[in-house]
Structure 1
Amino acid sequence: MKSRLRTIFWLMSLCMLGINGFQGYWLYTTYQLTTAQFARTAHEALLTVLQRQQLAELQALLRPAAGPEAYGRVALPVRQLDAAGRTRLRQLLQVGRRVPASAVAARRQEDSVAQALLHFLLQSSDTAPTLNLSHLAAAYQTELRLRGAEAAFRFDTVATAGPRRALVLPAGYAVQTPPVALPALPRVAVQASFQPPVFYALRQMGGLLAGSVALLALTTACFGLMLATILRQKKLSEIREDFVNNMTHELKTPLATVTAAVEALQHFGALQDPAKAQAYLAISRHELERLSGLVDHVLHMAVAEREPLQLAPETVRPAELVAELVAQHQLTAAKAVRFAVEVAPAAIRCDRLHLRNVISNLIDNAIKYSRDQVTITIQGQPESAGWRLTVTDDGIGIPADYQPAVFDRFFRVPTGNLHLVKGFGLGLYYVRQVIERHGGQLRLHSSPGRGSAFSFWLPAL
């Protein structure tokens, strides 16, 4: 069984790793594509801003002044960057400029306009005017916002003359646009470097990312739930097997004793000796009562599982119950037991019979799961609008791994196929049923080799 469970676990784990790995690779690839798309969008936005700036400079140059107008038409080559960053030559602009009417003739006026425009275009490639990067950055940020590609960036100028050098990303930046030549500065290019576009990627991949995370979480949860169910079923199977073994032993013992007593009466002349006959009959009666008690106990637990316990609340003095039970266990215990009782006199309302059984079960467990000698301390006092009782022993203790399950039905701390202390695992389950039915709480503090402390609190009904 363990080998099969181990095989199933490793196969399922391998399957989960494969699914998560492929899903993670797909998300990473999608993120890379989204980052590349962001880089293209940023580059196109930079080209647009630079072209817009070039047109603005030309419009400022050709803006008419005050005075009469003279018009002319001239074919001029004008440089304009296309989407790929290449220079195109465009044929013709219609230009107009205001000049004084008495300055020159109409022909001279047309020539003056052409010469002024040519002078600007030529001088822009031979001089080094000042570049306003802050103005360019503001326009670029606005363009990025319009395209939905906002991210923290910085501008850098790059010299285009001389040998090309590999572009190095500044520290903390992940995306960089190609250098774009400036129309007014032919030997200078500008490029933008961006920090990781996380928010842009989240906006673009939001649906995919949320769906993938939900799918992975659901798959992992199903895997964990299925594994927990398998382990729980395995645990229940072991508990059931242990219960059947103990029940078989407990039922066979009184039957074997009664059978031996009857055979003695029938075949060994015990009937002729009234004293022996009474002794055998007393033994048989005791074992039959024990057998009946075992059966009633199991049936009672089965009924309690389907229907809640029926309580008959009455005024009970816990100190009196504890005194009766201590005296009873001192007489019936098969080992040396020393009691230390500190129960404050008080009166509470609860079911007397069930409370008596609860305290008796706790004392009985403290005696059974201890060494040859045991000291049991019983403390009881009012607490938080109720009453608390604690039964502490110096027995073998309970490992921490098993403490959450000690109040489950049929549960016993695993000891292999050997159980030196017989039982069905129903005593503490019954304790939990009674305390919860009263609206109380249970606590357990235990350490292997140092003993256990069972405590319950009942509200003031």
Structure 2
Amino acid sequence: MSKADIFVGMNNRVRRLFLLALLAAAGLLCLQVYWISKEWTRSADILQREVDYSFQQAVDKEWSRRKDTLTAYLSDLLHDTNSVRFGTRYNKTENVWAVTMYDPANPKDYSSWSNKLHPVSEKLSDKEREEVIARFIEENLIKSIASDVIFFYTQRVGQAWTKKYNDLSMDTLFMKKMFKAELAQNKIDAGFSIAYIDTTQDPLPEMKGSALYSKPITVNFKRVNDIAKKYVAQATVRNPRMVLFKRLWLIGIGSLLLLGLTFWCLYRMYQTIIRQKQLDELKDDFISNMTHELKTPIATVTAAIDGLQFYNALNDKERTKRYLNVSRTELNRLDQMVSKALELSVEQNISGQLVKEKFALRPFLEQLLSSFDVQSGFRWQLDIDAEIKMYADKEKFGAVFQNLIENAIKYGGDDVLMHFAAERAGAWLTITVQDNGPGIDKAYLPHIFNKFYRVPGAVEAKGFGLGLYRVAGIIKAHGGTVVAETKEGLHFIIKIPVA
């Protein structure tokens, strides 16, 4: 019986259970797809925010770097005595000495201030001069630069400051370096480009393709402070899907493995149900056949006893002898059937019971086959070299060949011809047993070595479906294999190790 036939014959309860399992698996699949989709969307949003933040940080760092450059330039200018000099003058109002900053080429161009918290002497020492410059940079220049204000402390200082202020444009190489470093800090390994757009002339580009665009950020592109605020910078990150895949691959692989395990378990459950159904049907068939086989000898013995007891057969010695012989024969037959059934549990571990020996195969088969010569319509042929020997349990392999012969006689028809051949190839001995019977349909061949299995259509022949099961078990215990083929009769190909 094929699996398709068995599945059709499954009861409604098992079928509903299987369909519910399929529905649960499909629901799990949909849930996993939905969850991965949501996780992908969430990760894409996080990636967008990380790119925006990284780009903003890069812009801020570049802007701060330009401010620091301007501060350093003004510090160098203040230390240049050819451009700026510091002196003192007395402030009568506050009664302190005030600091003066003046142009050495034009002493009338000056600025002065005083600070009671940091008084100075009439003549500035080098140390006092350095302290004055340091306080001036900290309290005036840095604050002025941060607020984009230029104070003309002297004409020369103001003009130099203004020129540097206007000429200090954005350092695009530094900007790229900072953006790359920020992306790396967020574990974003992808190519990118940065565009600087004059929005008074060119519109912002449309977001196209699979690239990821940062938020546009207003930048001072041409100078430290772009009063018109017309320049905008925008970063484009390429292949963001690859970045997302690298972040989510473990989740994706885990989900696939979970789904694969679920469907594999479902498939195994299906196989188990099928095998259980097969086993149930085979057991039912076995019980039915066993019952039928047992009833015949029981009925025969019962009839013989009734004849002896109720029909005065005891007075007829010949009839009594005949009845007793029939009873003994049937009881022996009954004993053989019970013994075969018991072999199922006894031979579960055949390999531990083997008593191997080396013997010639041809005389062994001749002796075994000679006991079947009394069978009408049975012939045999041996194509085996007398020197071929096998290393096996002689008694167990006798049972193997006996089962094959009995099956050929039982199912082969009125004129059975069996052919035995053997050859040695390397470490293996191959034995071929062939009959001229009708063979077995190819659909049933894979199952004939299963316990209790009987080919459909052969139910009228007596048997329990244990013979070939035992054959396969004995050969497997010897470390060999057996396969069956239908080719002008039934062929059994047995391979066992020579040593």
> Taking structure 1 as reference, are residues 314 and 184 closer, same or farther at Cα in structure 2, changes over 3 Å only?
closer
2:150 and 2:158 in contact (8 A); partners too = no
Pick from 212, 225, 249 the counterpart of residue 175 of structure 1. 212
Moved more, 52-61 or 5-14: 52-61
Specify every segment of 5 or more residues in structure 2 that has no aligned partner in the other structure, as ranges.
Answer: 1-9, 85-132, 223-229
Matched letter for residue 423 of structure 2:
Q
Cα distance in 1 for partners of 2:158, 2:188 equals 46
> Taking structure 1 as reference, are residues 74 and 308 closer, same or farther at Cα in structure 2, changes over 3 Å only?
closer
The residue number in structure 1 matching 2:180 is: 141
The correspondence of residues 243-262 of structure 1 with structure 2, limited to 5 A, is 243-262=286-305
The residue number in structure 1 matching 2:479 is: 440
Answer yes or no: is 1:377 the counterpart of 2:419: yes
CA RMSD of aligned residues (A): 3.8
The correspondence of residues 16-165 of structure 1 with structure 2, limited to 5 A, is 16-60=25-69, 63-64=72-73, 67-68=80-81, 70=84, 73=140, 91-92=147-148, 107-117=154-164, 119-120=166-167, 136-155=175-194, 160-161=199-200
> Taking structure 1 as reference, are residues 144 and 399 closer, same or farther at Cα in structure 2, changes over 3 Å only?
farther
1:407 and 1:428 in contact (8 A); partners too = yes
1:440 and 1:456 in contact (8 A); partners too = no
The residue number in structure 1 matching 2:470 is: 430
The residue number in structure 1 matching 2:235 is: 191
Matched letter for residue 195 of structure 1:
N
> Taking structure 1 as reference, are residues 304 and 182 closer, same or farther at Cα in structure 2, changes over 3 Å only?
same
The residue number in structure 1 matching 2:105 is: none
SS in 1 for 2:421: strand
What is the Cα deviation at residue 10 of structure 1?
A: 0.5
What is the Cα deviation at residue 313 of structure 1?
A: 3.3
Cα distance in 2 for partners of 1:271, 1:397 equals 49
TM-score by length of 1: 0.76
> Taking structure 1 as reference, are residues 266 and 214 closer, same or farther at Cα in structure 2, changes over 3 Å only?
same
Cα distance in 1 for partners of 2:262, 2:314 equals 74
The residue number in structure 2 matching 1:300 is: 343
The residue number in structure 2 matching 1:459 is: 497
Matched letter for residue 302 of structure 1:
S
Matched letter for residue 115 of structure 1:
T
Pick from 367, 376, 390 the counterpart of residue 324 of structure 1. 367
Cα distance in 1 for partners of 2:39, 2:202 equals 35
Cα distance in 2 for partners of 1:46, 1:116 equals 29
2:144 and 2:150 in contact (8 A); partners too = no
SS in 1 for 2:154: helix
> Taking structure 1 as reference, are residues 199 and 74 closer, same or farther at Cα in structure 2, changes over 3 Å only?
closer
1:157 and 1:191 in contact (8 A); partners too = no
Answer yes or no: is 1:341 the counterpart of 2:382: yes
Cα distance in 1 for partners of 2:365, 2:31 equals 65
SS in 2 for 1:410: coil
Moved more, 191-200 or 277-286: 277-286
Flag the structure with larger Rg: 2
Cα distance in 2 for partners of 1:453, 1:118 equals 101
Cα distance in 1 for partners of 2:415, 2:206 equals 83
Matched letter for residue 453 of structure 2:
F
1:169 and 1:176 in contact (8 A); partners too = no
The residue number in structure 1 matching 2:6 is: none
Cα distance in 1 for partners of 2:453, 2:472 equals 13
Q: What is the total number of aligned residue pairs between the two structures? A: 424
Question: How far does the alpha carbon of each residue in 1:364-404 deviate from its partner, in whole angstroms, 9 at most, with x for none?
Answer: 22343445555433212234335332213454545566545
1:34 and 1:201 in contact (8 A); partners too = no
The correspondence of residues 350-365 of structure 1 with structure 2, limited to 5 A, is 350-365=392-407
The residue number in structure 2 matching 1:99 is: none
Cα distance in 1 for partners of 2:21, 2:208 equals 43
Pick from 8, 11, 19 the counterpart of residue 10 of structure 1. 19
SS in 2 for 1:331: coil
TM-score by length of 2: 0.71
SS in 2 for 1:392: strand
Answer yes or no: is 1:310 the counterpart of 2:343: no
Specify every segment of 5 or more residues in structure 1 that has no aligned partner in the other structure, as ranges.
Answer: 79-89, 96-104
